[in-house]
């Protein structure tokens, strides 16, 4: 039931449904997860295709789940299937037999499609053939692959400089495609390779590389099974990495404590019933977090500093019992400067800044003091904060104090998002490639790659807006909906001469386009990829640095789909022609040849073709995992970092907002309208508020409100949201992404990493008014 007048807007349709809210759940998974997994596969009308594929997911010889980047066990894998509810949903989404055909585009104008919600758009089915929108056109029309590549080549070659082109990557693209794609961009002449990392874990890379010498996590899955304490901070594993829950459960059964730090008491942090075990399904699962700290949004820095201060105090009263002084002396630099700062801090003040009572902070600090092997896991709750880089360096500081890194059962674990986002980066999809990487490419291929830094996501949007970037090519993703400041970004995209999207499904970025636009459909992870009559496999790297093969098993929905490597090679041949020194034709037809050349260019891929065919793939080298912290500045010692404590003030009528995911979406792909663990049904336009704030502002449960942001003196409005009372710290609010991206200023970014600060948005809330 639509309850209010629709306000059509191509970027951001504002429609309300009919919310049912039942309150936060206290545990995740169990029977509802099993039922939801299977019903999603059934709902798409694909019981046989879907269930068969589910059992091949994350199994040896099967395909890598296209949902998150959580690793698969090195040893035994569950015979019930190594998948989770959300993996099943991701599969259902791509295995659907519904199709978006040329007829569909003939019947539906771009303007009509833009009025649909993201949920409605996604449910239309798989893209089946290349489509083209001419300048001034109202409907996409079919185009042959050859003509599509000729158009792209024409536009790219007409640019005044290669730096007027942008090559975006989302995180599902295989290692093989990623390598060729960045190679093409560089041979064409630009490092403009914005990617989803620029909105996701770039912050982690910026924090880790200069401190521990590698911008990746240091733990393996087995470390979770034998450790003393696991800290989950700023991450919602029950929804976003459900298979991490099994690792937590196993760790806990073996004696580990679990600490959860989050403004929301997320069901997946509080309790777990493992759907892959009979006892879990029947409901005897247990409490998960031993301690839960309801930190304020961005209160984590105060909390981490309070931990460190208390650890130092405890070490003083029991020397040698709390900190690892030998590790500090032998493996770190900057300890004295680091501890100096704590004279200036008081526990009570830090407690107020964090939002957590000092008694709880003490209890948590004792847990850190009494345990030696600690694993820190984090997600977007930290990386998307303005001071995210510093906060993650603070986590490293704690690991260094405790000597809890570079040994079994201990270390850092940034929980990656997209299933191959880590691999994309290893393959050099990065707007800031190192000179060493570029030298290597030059040596192997003989062309001179561009040396300067290209545009990241935020700078790419600004460049389009200024008219400095004119052609946008996206390898996957949904750029408009994923990025901040929706209205500004839409203006930027509309200024382009050409926008091109390689996609598996229709999304909003196809509907807010450049003067001309192309949609190029491709195979998905679960589709059979047949080259020269043989089913191929591709490879990916998971959150823990394991490179493994992935082979799709489903018949593609259309015989016009071509794989992503072919798209890159054909674009390269059409664009560069005889200018190119690279044998694109060869790479188009052989994944083995691509892997052979990757091996020559990227360290750690020795014998790639052989090792990727082994049972569990192979681990990439990771010095920090072995306790070797090699940084440019400090040789073989890991530095302590002295960071600042942010001062966060809000005007009387302001609230802080974090935008998060529901249980029923994968980023901008909306699977359904439920956020089961938070008790929300049939609505996405909700704003979680503390009951006291609601009372003060005079809002009843279900009140319709509009949300505003005024950064940089611009009024940004997201209309028609429903207030839901929730156990969240006062003056903090949570909404769902991408509906509230319209409120995020393009200039509200994380220091150093330049990521949008999607969890730190200053808003005002007013009773809803229909616009006049
Ligand atoms: N099913 C499903 N799986 C996914 C995705 C998906 O959309 N759906 N997306 C994938 C991707 S790309 C990514 S990056 C990951 C994202 O996975 P997560 O990192 O879990 O992402 P979010 O849901 O955005 O938010 C994380 C948590 O941060 C908390 N938070 C907000 N502000 C703060 C704060 O100031 N401090 C602390 N401590 N916590 C805070 C929120 O309450 C929320 O629980 O998941 C991946 N997996
Ligand atoms: N406000 C706010 N904004 C955010 C976030 C947030 O927490 N809050 N999170 C950020 C994060 S962590 C991320 S990673 C980004 C995500 O940004 P993106 O990666 O750009 O977005 P997705 O929604 O994951 O992309 C979905 C589209 O990818 C296409 N696709 C799916 N599979 C394939 C495939 O195999 N090949 C190809 N070629 N295409 C495919 C489909 O057509 C689908 O429509 O969003 C960011 N934006
Ligand atoms: Mo992400």
Maximum Cα–Cα distance across the chain: 76
Confidence of residue 8 (pLDDT cuts 50, 70, 90): very low
| CATH numbers and ranges of domains, the chain | 36-187+421-615 (3.40.50.740), 203-414 (3.40.228.10), 655-767 (2.40.40.20)
731 pLDDT more than 80 = yes
| Helix-strand-coil split of the chain, %, nearest 5 | 40, 20, 45
Residue 576 near residue 566, CB atoms below 8 Å: no
Question: What are the DSSP calls for 572-638, one per residue?
Answer: HHHHHGGG--S-HHHHHH-HHHHHHHHHHHSTT-TTHHHHTTSTT-EEPP-GGGGT---BTTTBT-E
Helices (H) then strands (E): counts for the chain: 31, 33
Handedness of CA 436, 438, 441, 442 (dihedral sign): negative
Count of alpha carbons within 13 angstroms of residue 518, beta-carbon side: 27
Ligand 2 atom 21: residue of nearest CA: 477
| pLDDT at site 34 | 67
| pLDDT at site 60 | 76
pLDDT digits 0-9 by tens, 176-220: 999 999 999 999 999 999 999 999 999 999 999 999 999 999 999
CA of 196 to the centre of ligand 1 (A): 14
Ligand at minimal distance from the CA of 675 is 1
Cβ–ligand 2 contact at 550 (below 6 Å): no
pLDDT digits 0-9 by tens, 630-660: 999 999 999 999 999 999 999 999 999 999 9
Q: Given ligand 1 and candidates 289, 380, 543, 670, which is best to mutate, with the most ligand atoms within 8 Å of its CB? A: 380
Would the pTM of this model clear 0.85, i.e. be above it? yes
d(CA 300, CA 384): 12
**Can you give the length of the chain in residues?**
772
CA of 197 to the centre of ligand 3 (A): 7
CA of 65 to the centre of ligand 1 (A): 18
Give the pairing of strands 165-169 and 229-233: unpaired
3 state DSSP class of 460: helix
Share of the chain above pLDDT 90, in %: 82
345 pLDDT more than 70 = yes
Between 82 and 360, name the one with better pLDDT. 360
Q: Dihedrals φ, ψ of 269, to 5°?
A: -95, -25
The residue behind tokens 């990746």 is 216
| pLDDT at site 11 | 75
Ligand 1 atom 13: residue of nearest CA: 417
Confidence of residue 610 (pLDDT cuts 50, 70, 90): very high
Q: Mean per-residue pLDDT for 15-41?
A: 73
Neighbours of 352 (CB within 10 A): 15
pLDDT digits 0-9 by tens, 386-416: 999 999 999 999 999 999 999 999 999 999 9
E strand or H helix that includes residue 721: strand 716-725
Q: What does the block give as tokens for 591?
A: 């994944």
Residue 431 near residue 194, CB atoms below 8 Å: yes
CA of 666 to the centre of ligand 3 (A): 9
Share of the chain above pLDDT 70, in %: 93
Choose among 130, 155, 46: nearest CA to 95.
46
Residue 15 near residue 720, CB atoms below 8 Å: yes
Q: Dihedrals φ, ψ of 243, to 5°?
A: -80, -15
Neighbours of 158 (CB within 10 A): 12
Least confident of 76-85, 107-116, 176-185, 358-367: 76-85
Cβ–ligand 2 contact at 538 (below 6 Å): no
Q: What does the block give as tokens for 765?
A: 């809330």
Ligand 2 atom 28: residue of nearest CA: 477
CA of 419 to the centre of ligand 2 (A): 11
d(CA 703, CA 689): 11
Q: Dihedrals φ, ψ of 376, to 5°?
A: -105, 125
Q: Mean per-residue pLDDT for 156-185?
A: 98
Q: At what angle do helices 31-43 and 47-56 cross, to 10 degrees?
A: 130
Q: How far, in whole angstroms, is CA 403 from its chain's centroid?
A: 29
| pLDDT at site 81 | 61
Give the pairing of strands 271-273 and 28-29: parallel
Task: Pick left, alpha or beta for residue 128 (phi over 0 → left; psi -120 to 50 → alpha; otherwise beta).
Answer: alpha
CA of 482 to the centre of ligand 2 (A): 6
Pocket of ligand 1, beta carbon within 6 A: 67-68, 86, 200, 233-236, 239-241, 261-264, 266, 295, 297-298, 300, 379-381, 385, 417-418, 658, 660-661, 665-667, 759
CA of 760 to the centre of ligand 2 (A): 20
Question: How does the average pLDDT of the chain come out, rounded?
Answer: 92
Ligand at minimal distance from the CA of 235 is 1
| pLDDT at site 88 | 82
| pLDDT at site 79 | 56
571 pLDDT more than 90 = yes
E strand or H helix that includes residue 284: none
578 contact partners, CB below 8 Å, separation of at least 6: none
Q: At what angle do helices 47-56 and 85-95 cross, to 10 degrees?
A: 130
- For residue 380, the ligand 1 atom closest to its alpha carbon is 19
d(CA 358, CA 605): 49
pLDDT digits 0-9 by tens, 104-113: 999 999 999 9
Q: Given ligand 2 and candidates 90, 472, 477, which is best to mutate, with the most ligand atoms within 8 Å of its CB? A: 477
Q: Given ligand 2 and candidates 12, 121, 172, which is best to mutate, with the most ligand atoms within 8 Å of its CB? A: 172
Ligand at minimal distance from the CA of 756 is 2
Q: Mean per-residue pLDDT for 597-615?
A: 96
Residue 706 near residue 718, CB atoms below 8 Å: yes
């Amino acid at each position: 039931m639509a309850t209010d007048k629709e306000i059509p807007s191509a970027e951001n349709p504002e429609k309300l449904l009919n919310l049912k809210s039942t309150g936060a759940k206290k545990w995740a998974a169990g029977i509802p997860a099993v039922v939801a997994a299977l019903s999603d596969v059934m709902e798409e009308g694909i019981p046989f295709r879907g269930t068969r594929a589910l059992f091949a997911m994350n199994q040896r010889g099967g395909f890598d789940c296209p949902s998150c980047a959580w690793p698969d066990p090195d040893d035994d894998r569950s015979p019930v299937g190594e998948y989770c509810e959300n993996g099943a949903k991701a599969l259902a989404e791509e295995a659907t037999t519904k199709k978006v055909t040329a007829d569909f585009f003939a019947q539906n104008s771009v303007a009509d499609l833009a009025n649909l919600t993201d949920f409605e758009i996604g449910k239309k089915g798989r893209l089946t053939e290349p489509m083209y929108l001419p300048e001034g056109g109202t409907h996409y029309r079919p185009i042959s692959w050859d003509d599509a590549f000729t158009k792209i080549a024409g536009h790219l070659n007409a640019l005044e400089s290669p730096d007027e082109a942008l090559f975006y990557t989302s995180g599902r693209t295989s290692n093989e495609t990623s390598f060729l794609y960045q190679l093409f961009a560089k041979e064409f002449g630009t490092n403009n390779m914005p990617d989803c990392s620029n909105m996701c874990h770039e912050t982690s890379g910026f924090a880790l590389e200069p401190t521990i010498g590698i911008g990746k996590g240091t733990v393996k899955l087995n470390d979770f099974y034998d450790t003393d304490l696991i800290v989950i901070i700023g991450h919602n594993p029950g929804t976003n990495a459900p298979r991490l829950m099994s690792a937590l459960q196993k760790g806990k059964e073996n004696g580990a404590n679990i600490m959860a730090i989050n403004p929301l008491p997320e069901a997946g942090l509080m309790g777990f019933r493992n759907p892959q075990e009979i006892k879990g399904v029947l409901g005897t699962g247990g409490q998960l977090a031993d301690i839960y700290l309801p930190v304020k949004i961005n209160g984590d820095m105060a909390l981490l500093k309070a931990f460190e201060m208390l650890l130092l105090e405890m070490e003083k009263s029991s020397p040698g019992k709390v900190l690892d002084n030998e590790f500090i002396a032998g493996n770190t630099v900057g300890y004295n400067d680091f501890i100096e700062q704590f004279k200036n801090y008081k526990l009570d003040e830090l407690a107020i800044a964090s939002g957590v009572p000092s008694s709880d902070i003490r209890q948590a600090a004792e847990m850190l003091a009494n345990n030696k092997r600690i694993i820190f896991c984090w997600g977007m709750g930290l990386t998307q904060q303005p001071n995210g880089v510093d906060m993650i360096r603070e986590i490293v500081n704690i690991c260094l104090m405790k000597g809890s890194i570079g040994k079994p059962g201990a270390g850092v674990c940034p929980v990656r998002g997209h299933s191959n986002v880590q691999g994309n980066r290893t393959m050099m999809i990065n707007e800031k490639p190192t000179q060493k990487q570029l030298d290597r490419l030059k040596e192997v291929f003989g062309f001179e790659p561009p040396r300067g830094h290209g545009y990241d996501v935020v700078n790419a949007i600004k460049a389009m807006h200024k008219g400095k970037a004119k052609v946008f090519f996206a390898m996957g993703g949904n750029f408009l909906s994923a990025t901040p400041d929706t209205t500004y970004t839409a203006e930027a995209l509309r200024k382009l001469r050409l926008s091109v999207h390689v996609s598996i499904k229709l999304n909003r970025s196809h509907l807010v386009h450049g003067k001309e636009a192309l949609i190029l459909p491709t195979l998905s992870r679960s589709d059979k990829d047949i080259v020269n009559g043989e089913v191929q496999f591709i490879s990916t790297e998971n959150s823990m640095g394991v490179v493994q093969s992935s082979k799709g098993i489903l018949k593609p929905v259309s015989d016009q789909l071509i794989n992503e490597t072919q798209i890159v090679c054909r674009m390269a041949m059409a664009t560069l022609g005889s200018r190119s020194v690279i044998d694109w034709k060869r790479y188009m037809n052989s994944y083995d040849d691509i892997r052979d050349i990757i091996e020559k260019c990227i360290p750690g891929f020795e014998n790639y073709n052989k090792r990727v065919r082994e049972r569990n793939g192979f681990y990439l080298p990771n010095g920090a995992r072995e306790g070797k912290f090699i940084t440019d500045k400090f040789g073989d010692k890991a530095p302590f970092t002295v960071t600042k404590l942010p001062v966060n003030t809000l005007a009387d009528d302001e609230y802080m907002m974090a935008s998060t995911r529901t249980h029923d979406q994968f980023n901008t792909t909306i699977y359904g309208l439920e956020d089961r663990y938070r008790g929300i049904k049939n609505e996405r336009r909700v704003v979680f508020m503390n009951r006291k704030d609601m009372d003060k502002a005079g809002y009843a449960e279900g009140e319709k409100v509009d949300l505003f942001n005024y950064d940089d003196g611009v009024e940004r409005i997201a209309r028609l949201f429903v207030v839901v009372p929730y156990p969240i710290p006062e003056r903090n609010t949570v909404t769902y992404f991408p509906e509230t991206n319209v409120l995020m200023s393009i200039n509200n970014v994380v220091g150093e990493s330049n990521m949008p600060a999607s969890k730190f948005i200053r808003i005002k809330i007013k009773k809803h008014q229909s616009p006049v």
